[in-house]
Chain A
Amino acid sequence: GAGVSQSPSNKVTEKGKDVELRCDPISGHTALYWYRQSLGQGLEFLIYFQGNSAPDKSGLPSDRFSAERTGGSVSTLTIQRTQQEDSAVYLCAILLLYGEQFFGPGTRLTVL
């Protein structure tokens, strides 16, 4: 969507390598979310940033996953030592209204 861009759109990596996914939302939205959608699965919540509060990391599947949000805008999701089960579409979203989130186009990650 025009309000949230994500890069790269596709990423192919080898098992064991680290990857960094980027989310660049339009300014003015304090809440930012990361989700992933594995093949045939729903959207799985990963992490949530709200202003200057500590992020809600309750959805991160392992300590290989981490995320940052710098300056209240750009966010990066880092996956260390990637595994094949990390293959998924990673989606970033901002909060527009209560409950309503606006999603970026996603990054398709393939781990060989």
Chain B
Amino acid sequence: DQQVKQNSPSLSVQEGRISILNCDYTNSMFDYFLWYKKYPAEGPTFLISISSIKDKNEDGRFTVFLNKSAKHLSLHIVPSQPGDSAVYFCAATGNEKLTFGTGTRLTIIP
């Protein structure tokens, strides 16, 4: 039972444009959502998070949107840069355990 789903395994975006990564969840007990970025041969690194009491959180080029009624969140990266090429994991929690999606590989085309 995949409680956190990232339906796009890969995404290619032109440098300078907006990258939008999507994530859906099924468990209504989740109250905190996070995005992690992973480069090859490295562990995932925390990128940005959002609490269920908010619908938007912004940090520089990164914005996360949460639509609780649709159980959907998205990560916007604008403008996209070559260094953003990585695998992005969506994660959710309602306690101290994280449930991860399967990841989306983002490729920024110069």
Contacts and interface: CB of A to CB of B under 8 A. Distances in A.
Interface of A: 1, 4, 31, 33, 35, 40-45, 48, 50, 56, 91, 93, 95-96, 98-106, 108
23 contacts: A40-B9, A40-B102, A41-B102, A42-B100, A42-B103, A44-B100, A91-B43, A91-B44, A93-B43, A99-B32, A99-B49, A99-B91, A99-B96, A100-B34, A100-B46, A101-B46, A102-B46, A103-B36, A103-B45, A105-B42, A106-B41, A106-B42, A108-B41
Contacts of A91: 43-44
A98 B103 contact: no
A108 B42 CA distance: 10
Contacts of A31: 96
A43 B96 contact: no
Contacts of A50: 96
B49 A43 contact: no
Contacts of B46: 96, 100-102
